Amino acid sequence: MVLFLGGDQFYALMIGKRLGYRTVIYAEWEARWYRWLDYFAVMNQRVIESIPGAYRHKLAVVGDLMADFSPISLNFMEMATNPVIGILPGSKTGKLTQGVPLCLSIAEHIYQRKPQTRFILPIAPTINIETLVRFADPKYNPFVMKMGGVSGELKKENGKYYLQTKTGLNVELISQFPAHEILQQCCLTLTTVGANTAELGALGIPMIVLLPTQQLDAMRTWDGIPGILANLPLVGSQLAKLINARVVKTGRLFAWPNIWAKEEIVPELRGELQGEKVADLVLDWLDNPSELNKIHYRLLEVRGKPGAAQKIAKIVHEQLSHNN
């Protein structure tokens, strides 16, 4: 059995066909390859409605897998006084290359004007601390100089790891996964696109979604055929530039809460982003915590229904019975 919970559905198809295993796909927004995959557990009825009638028997609504935990009530008036800001730059090289130095630049500008601010960076389980720190080092990552010139080096103090800038700004590196309890201390987050926007939305944590385009061929993490084309040898770089330029111009929404709501609940900033301008928006939110509160409750309104994990487990059990 191949159980797919996120990423590119094409890989589940390849593995299932190669090994002769049945496939169960959890699809939040779109069910792909439905002619060849065995079954889909989908987040809502809209996913089913987009599928031809002859294949709808393969799909069942289970709810939002990200909603299988309870958000807590957040007091933004109190939190904004001594704010904690989360940084989620992604887990893949294409995102980290631009995301880490950009977020460090944003954090530096915030720190200079609001030094009591604390920053945390939960590390994805697919990378280690040493790898992440390299993306803040201009010797290994030339984008540090293109994204504001704020570099960082690894520091350890009292058993905790930090990414420290030359001015003394410390970004605490969090290895705990999942980091829900720590993220719930944040009054807002800086994040790239991806599943983390669904997680933050389910927790009701306000976010600013960053889509920097300082180098258009750096982003090669799209799902499906665009992602495959962008990663082809020799021609992948040029194809990535064309794909990304087209995507940026369409004005489509990328953050999951925005997609679910069909409107921009949280801002998606795209283009050649500069740390100071993004920091201005963050500081405006911190000075007006009622805005954070509005976003918080709007995020909770669009989050899916809980109970998805149990329903998916039942579907997997049923599909396994087909092998007997």
Please tell me the predicted confidence (pLDDT) of residue 46: 84
CA 296 to chain centre: 17
Rounded Cα gap, residues 88 and 99, in angstroms: 8
Structure tokens at 168: 């003394």
* Domains in the chain, CATH or no CATH each: 2-63+307-321 (no CATH), 76-302 (3.40.50.2000)
* Sign of the CA dihedral with 3 first, then 179, 96, and 208 last: positive
Rounded Cα gap, residues 217 and 113, in angstroms: 34
Rounded Cα gap, residues 167 and 9, in angstroms: 44
Q: Find the helix or strand (DSSP H, E) in which 112 lies.
A: helix 93-113
Q: Find the mean pLDDT for residues 149-176.
A: 94
Q: What share of the chain is helix, strand, coil (3-state, %, to 5)?
A: 45, 15, 40
pLDDT at 71 over 80: no
Name the pLDDT band for 141 (thresholds 50, 70, 90). very high
**Owner of token pair 């309890």:** 181
- As a whole number, the mean pLDDT across the chain is 87
For 14-27, the pLDDT digits (tens) are 999 999 999 999 99
Residue type for position 214? Q
Please tell me the predicted confidence (pLDDT) of residue 110: 97
Q: Find the mean pLDDT for residues 137-156.
A: 94
Please tell me the predicted confidence (pLDDT) of residue 93: 86
Please tell me the predicted confidence (pLDDT) of residue 276: 95
Q: What is the pTM (predicted TM-score) of this model?
A: 0.81
Q: Check if the beta carbon of residue 90 is closer than 8 Å to that of residue 192.
A: yes
Structure tokens at 82: 């001594």
